[in-house]
Structure formats: C-alpha cells, structure tokens
C-alpha cells in the first residue's frame, strides 16, 4: 500500500500509474513550455505590435514544448539520447529566459 492510499483510501483502487515519475515531470515541463510561449504571445500583443525580436520566446516556447514531448517519446527507445535532447532544450530555455530578462531591463531604463 502506498502512502497516498493511507491518506486517501480511494487511491487503493489504482495499483500503478500509467506514467513513471520521470515521464510525468517531462510532460509537466513540456506543457509548461508550450503555455509559457502562449502566455508570452499574449503579453507581447498588449503593446499592439510584436517586434521581430519578441517572436523569439514565443516560437522557442512552443518548439521547446514539442522538443520535450519528442524527448519523452525517444526515451521509450533510447533514454540517453532523450536525456541529451531534454538537457539541450532546458539549456536553451535558460538562455532565452536570461536574454528576455536582459532586454526587459535595458528597455526599462
């Protein structure tokens, strides 16, 4: 019996979740990236027009989410390749996020 079943007795019916913890975390990160791209699109359209540089985080967010979903599918066959792909996507997310923070700080001054 799991700890969840102790606290929440109806969970005793579920013997095993269909996804592993790693798959759930990767799915969460992928969905977050996709919705972050959509959120950035809405935030940047408030100004009325989207400049070319403002498309970078929008396109990257959706592409990163798709890349993480692809990494999840690749993980079924080659976990090491999926790990490399996911780490490249996460590194790209850090770089795009830092660039966005820099551009917002520069524009605010």
**Tens of pLDDT, residue by residue, the chain (109 residues):** 577 778 888 877 777 777 788 888 999 999 999 999 999 999 989 988 788 888 999 999 999 999 999 999 999 899 999 999 999 999 999 999 999 999 989 987 7
Of 100, 99, 92, 81, which is closest to residue 33 (Cα–Cα)? 92
Of 90, 57, 98, 56, which is closest to residue 71 (Cα–Cα)? 90
How far apart CA 77 and CA 23 sit, in angstroms, is 13
What pLDDT score was predicted for residue 77?
Answer: 92
- The pTM of the full predicted model, rounded to 2 decimals, is 0.81
């Amino acid at each position: 019996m799991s700890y969840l079943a102790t606290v929440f007795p109806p969970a005793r019916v579920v013997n095993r979740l269909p996804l592993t913890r790693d798959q759930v975390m990767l799915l969460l990160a992928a969905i977050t990236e996709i919705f972050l791209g959509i959120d950035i699109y809405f935030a940047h359209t408030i100004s009325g027009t989207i400049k070319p540089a403002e498309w970078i985080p929008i396109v990257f967010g959706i592409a990163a989410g798709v890349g993480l979903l692809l990494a999840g599918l690749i993980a079924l066959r080659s976990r090491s390749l999926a790990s490399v792909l996911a780490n490249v996507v996460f590194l790209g997310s850090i770089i795009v996020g830092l660039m966005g923070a820099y551009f917002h700080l520069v524009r605010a001054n």
